[in-house]
Amino acid sequence: MIEKIIAEKASDALKSLYGQNIDPKGVAIQKTRPEFQGDFTVVVFPLTRFSGKSPEETGRELGEWLKGNFNFIADFNIIKGFLNILLTDRYWMDFFSTGSLDENFGFFPQSEGPPVVIEYSSPNTNKPLHLGHIRNNLLGWSIAEILKANGRKVMKVNLVNDRGIHICKTMLAYRKWASGKIPSKEGIKGDKFVGNLYVQFEQANKKIMETIIKQGIDEDEAYRQSGLTQEALDLLQQWESGDPDARRLWETMNGWVYEGFDQTYRRLGVDFDKIYYESETYLLGKDLVAEGLDKGVFYKKDDGSVWIDLKDFKLDEKLLLRPDGTSVYITQDLGTAQLRVDDYHPGRLLYVVGNEQIYHFDVLKIVLKLLGRDWAENILHVSYGMVELPQGKMKSREGTVVDADELMEEMYETAKKTTAELGKLDNPDDPEWRELFEMLGMGALKFFILRVDPRKNMLFNPQESIDFNGHTGPFIQYTHARIRSLLAKASGKGYKAITSPLPDDFALLPKERAIVRLLYDFPAVVADAGNNLSPAIIAAYCYELAKEYNQFYQEIPVLKEPDPLKISFRLALSGFAGNVLRRGMGLLGIRVPEKM
């Protein structure tokens, strides 16, 4: 990287000018701000202690030394304590000649280190996937792909929460109110069928609780006293004891849900290397609880429940097993964490889970450390903010969530409508058009969600997300299609992109230089996104590159240029930009069309 070379040369300059031996890592190099001329900036302020001179004078002497001793520096300027360095066109052309021919440009070779295990999705089998799950899945999948692009081995895993009180509520609702109906005969996806039963249970239980609350009893106690709650808890105990009828119904209903989940995952474009099921792992957690009791890490109360006291960690007490011996969420998380370590011996364990679970993962790490699991230090909770809609928050119990399937279909229809309004639609039933609507709709959805810093809450607006001229996925997709159309048109006229090195006296126009400069940044952007586990960094880069290319396309002639060499170069530049857009958007799970 040229930044490292500049730092090394600056270190040589400090030794030559002031007799100081400075580690190149101590020289701060950053991109020059767009309002100033230059490519890279040396921060001079910290170096004045070696020169004993003002920042401006130090910068001037340093700039003159670098220009005289480093062939790739064309010029420099000093703004207060910042030395802005302008590299020669020759440097950028040398980069272009090699980078444009590199099929793996921007991605790093796979390392030999231990894998990263990343968990995402983690749905409950009592409801279909909704908008919140969409953000979770898109973040998890994209982070996994970004880590792969950084050379890491990655295992994508899903932990399906297929047991517990919520699942038993749907089972009880089926027994009481479904009258033996099945999803296939009702013409409804299995996950939605079961989700409707969950809502039906909660609504019925709410009415019972309201009657109890009127007697002066608080809401928590009313929940415990509800007859429906007690029936669901009884069913949970039957399930854990292996009751054949309870298990049979559980397997049937979960099977309906899995079929529905698979359809949603396929359309969303996410996948997993392995799926764990809580029903198969929660007993492992119970074994760790037993181990903790033997070691005195946990303690048992008079009612038989098992707890851990975390006051020394400035936290409170945490329940690990209920009085009836049934598990809670952290029980199974202890077991699955141990199982994944045994399965993969990972260097890191990542959990993509909403930020409302920060406390849960703090407790998980502490408990595992107290159990003697040193690898608990490798656990990282990749938290993300809530997704809201213009009309407010979603609530599963009340049935007010935004269904993932319905949202994806809405995005398809919005893409179709928008395309028609732009006058581009001639035959909406043509398979190629349907494929394009799907590509645009999903691109709009994914980009709008992934462009936001994962840690922040976000407001999702389907109409805004699909603007062809805005900060959107379709804008970038359109740019890629424009590039491919240009290259196809050029090929039809017999033009070819240049593949041999350009002459030494070839000069770049400012817009050409800006694109080359952005393309140069791609590997660093991929690395930055990997270090920060943030697809938003990739999204921002793709938008900036697409915006810069469109300005170039509007201002600089390509096929109408009289100089054949410049035509060939601009075609190669366009092809390079298109390939990087495709690779960058691919890390977000977004396909880009060949034509629009």
Q: How many CB atoms are closer than 10 A to CB 464?
A: 14
Please state, in angstroms and rounded to a whole number, the distance separating the CA atoms of residues 15 and 19.
Answer: 4
Distances (CA, A) of 396 to 3, 127, 192, 202, 427: 50, 8, 12, 10, 39
Average pLDDT, the chain: 93
pLDDT of residue 399: 46
**Cβ(571)–Cβ(127) below 8 Å:** no
pLDDT of residue 327: 77
Beta strands in 446-565 (DSSP E): 458-459
User: Which position has the token pair 């400090």?
Assistant: 14
Distances (CA, A) of 541 to 451, 519, 535, 544, 583: 10, 10, 10, 5, 12
Helix (H) or strand (E) holding 82: strand 82-87
What 8-state DSSP symbol labels residue 327?
A: B
What are the residue ranges of helices labelled H in 451-472?
462-465
Residues 6+ apart with CB under 8 A from 213: 219, 222
pLDDT of residue 426: 66
Tokens for 330, please give them: 């952290």
pLDDT of residue 505: 85
> Burial, 27: exposed, middle or buried (Cβ in 10 Å; 0-12, 13-18, 19+)?
buried
Please state, in angstroms and rounded to a whole number, the distance separating the CA atoms of residues 447 and 62.
Answer: 43
Q: How many CB atoms are closer than 10 A to CB 311?
A: 8
Distances (CA, A) of 161 to 165, 208, 312, 317, 363: 11, 27, 31, 24, 19
Q: Which residues, listed in sequence order, are joined to residue 317 by a DSSP beta bridge?
A: 309
Q: Which residues, listed in sequence order, are joined to residue 87 by a DSSP beta bridge?
A: 73
pLDDT of residue 283: 84
Tokens for 509, please give them: 């126009």
Please state, in angstroms and rounded to a whole number, the distance separating the CA atoms of residues 198 and 397.
Answer: 7
**What's the pLDDT tens digit per position in 357-416?**
999 999 999 999 999 999 999 999 999 998 877 765 444 444 456 889 999 999 999 898
pLDDT of residue 419: 82
Instruction: Please list, residue by residue across 250-274, b when 16 or more beta carbons sit within 10 angstroms of its beta carbon and e when fewer do.
Output: beebbebbbebbeebbeebebebee
* Predicted model pTM: 0.92
pLDDT of residue 466: 80
User: Which position has the token pair 């709008």?
Assistant: 448
Which portions of the chain are predicted below pLDDT 50?
A: 393-399
pLDDT of residue 420: 81
DSSP string, 98-143: HHTT-TTTT--PPPSSPPEEEE----BTTS--BHHHHHHHHHHHHH
Please state, in angstroms and rounded to a whole number, the distance separating the CA atoms of residues 325 and 319.
Answer: 11
pLDDT of residue 425: 61
Residues 6+ apart with CB under 8 A from 247: 239
What 8-state DSSP symbol labels residue 396?
A: T
pLDDT of residue 397: 45
Please state, in angstroms and rounded to a whole number, the distance separating the CA atoms of residues 396 and 399.
Answer: 5
What are 270-273's contacts with CB under 8 Å, separation 24+? Answer: 270/120, 270/121, 270/137, 270/138, 270/140, 270/141, 270/589, 271/141, 271/156, 272/121, 272/156, 272/157, 272/158, 273/155, 273/156, 273/157
